[in-house]
Amino acid sequence: MSLKDRRLSDLRARIPEIAAAEALALQARGALLVDVREDEETVTGTPAGALRLPRGFLELRIEETASDPTRPILLMCAGGTRSLFAAEDLLRMGYGDVRSVTGGFSAWKAAGLPVEVPPQLDAVQRERYRRHLTMPEVGEAGQHRLLRSRVALIGAGGLGSPIALYLAAAGVGRLTLIDDDRVERSNLQRQILHAESRLGQRKVESGRAALLDLNPTIEVVAHDTRLEAANVLDLLAGHDVVVDGSDNLPTRYLVNDACLRLGVPNVYGAIFRFEGQVSVFGGATPGVRPCYRCLFPEPPPAEYAPSCAEAGVLGVLPGVIGTIMAAETIKLLLGLGEPMAGRLLLYDGLRGEFNEIAVPVDPHCPSCSPGASCELTDIAAVCGA
């Protein structure tokens, strides 16, 4: 008997082996079924509901899903051999109930048990998103989720530039840019989406060219128009997240109210000279998260809310705030972490300091409180803009 055969005989004496049908029954009762085959082996399918965790990452990542060492773990490979070695490693780690599926995926499929064929990234996508794929919080499933996502970005200027670039780089499948301005030389101090060679172009077209140059595999939709009450619902409908990178109060109130009507989360950011702020408003259930009007019920007079053109802005500040907004957007798309809902993050660039204040839901909010009408109106005249 060869050394390998002796090792397998020893493992089979110590590690319980179960048939595929028994594994399915145990999975239905709460056991964790883990497919330890490599990614290229799962192209033809994987057991429905199984955790896909290649053998090389098993010990590194198993605790993130199986934090309870008493939970039964069922390991499956292609034919039932690698799963025995994997089971031995989990036993060493302290897991008490580890079993190997006899015959592996071949036996599972031959028995006609439920199989799901996961979407596959091509070779170019695997190379492009490799750093995402190695993160258990993202992985292939998360990357596919990003590739299926749709994000509407209001503004292709200071805040919109880093937001758009990072969302495109992350692989957000469809980015909708909404802006009605042209690229001017004075923009280039902070609007890194644009370039000297595209002066005079519409910002959405300039931005679209830059984003597709960065990641030609995504879709970029350009709307060269001003957001108004008459078109806001049509432009924002069908998106998973709306990111408000606008630089004026009327648009912020309009976006807030439209997102509430559509049940879409609104990632908000604003900048002023050396200061910035970020939060997440609204979502599918009105009144659960605060909205923009919970924080600012009414717009202030125009003289108290000057634009960047009037007050100026440090060129790097949109990069700080816009990057945080992009991170909040990706968290929402992937369902990771805690969104910055109910909190307003404040950044003081001169002090290099972040602070945070609570933003409670206003039970009398004119937009999101029970019974609020949330009418969509253009309030430029109120703001004096």
Average pLDDT of the segment spanning 335-350: 94
Per-residue model confidence as pLDDT tens digits over 197-242: 999 999 999 999 999 999 999 999 999 999 999 999 999 999 999 9
Are 359 and 295 contacting, i.e. CB atoms less than 8 angstroms apart?
Answer: yes
pLDDT band at 384 (very low <50, low <70, confident <90, very high): very low
Condensed to tens digits (0 to 9), the pLDDT of residues 163-199 reads 999 999 999 999 999 999 999 999 999 999 999 999 9
Could you tell me where the DSSP H helices lie in the chain? Answer: 3-14, 20-28, 58-65, 82-93, 104-110, 123-128, 130-133, 139-148, 160-170, 203-214, 232-236, 249-262, 292-295, 308-311, 317-334, 380-383
Mean of pLDDT values over 121-144: 90
Q: Which amino acid is at 193?
A: L
User: Which residue ranges make up each domain of the chain?
Assistant: 3-116, 149-383
Return the minimum-mean-pLDDT range out of 8-22, 115-129, 231-245, 354-368: 115-129
Q: 380 falls in which pLDDT band (50, 70, 90)?
A: low
- At residue 53 the predicted structure's pLDDT band, cuts being 50, 70 and 90, is confident
Average pLDDT of the chain, as a whole number: 91
**Maximum average pLDDT range among 116-130, 134-148, 205-219:** 205-219
pLDDT at 25 over 50: yes
pLDDT band at 49 (very low <50, low <70, confident <90, very high): very high
* 359 pLDDT higher than 90: yes
Output the pLDDT for position 383: 44
Residues 6 or more apart in contact with residue 231 via CB below 8 angstroms: 225
Residue 257 in this model has a pLDDT that exceeds 60: yes
pLDDT at 91 over 70: yes
Pick from 210, 155, 163, 213: which is nearest to 327 by CA? Answer: 163
Checking if the pLDDT of 282 tops 80, the result is yes
Model confidence at 8, in pLDDT bands (50, 70, 90)? Answer: confident
Q: Which CATH architecture has domain 3-116?
A: 3-Layer(aba) Sandwich (3.40)
CATH code of the domain occupying 149-383: 3.40.50.720
Q: Which residues pair with 272 in a beta bridge?
A: 275
Q: Which range among 173-182, 239-248, 261-270, 310-319 shows the weakest confidence by mean pLDDT?
A: 310-319
Which is nearest to 241 in space by CA: 312, 151, 173, 106? 151
3-state SS, residue 349: coil
| Mean pLDDT for the stretch of residues 117-146 | 89
What mean pLDDT comes out for the span 320-347?
A: 95
Mean pLDDT of the 253-267 span: 94
The yes-or-no verdict on residue 382 having pLDDT over 50 is: no
Arithmetic mean of pLDDT, 103-114? 95
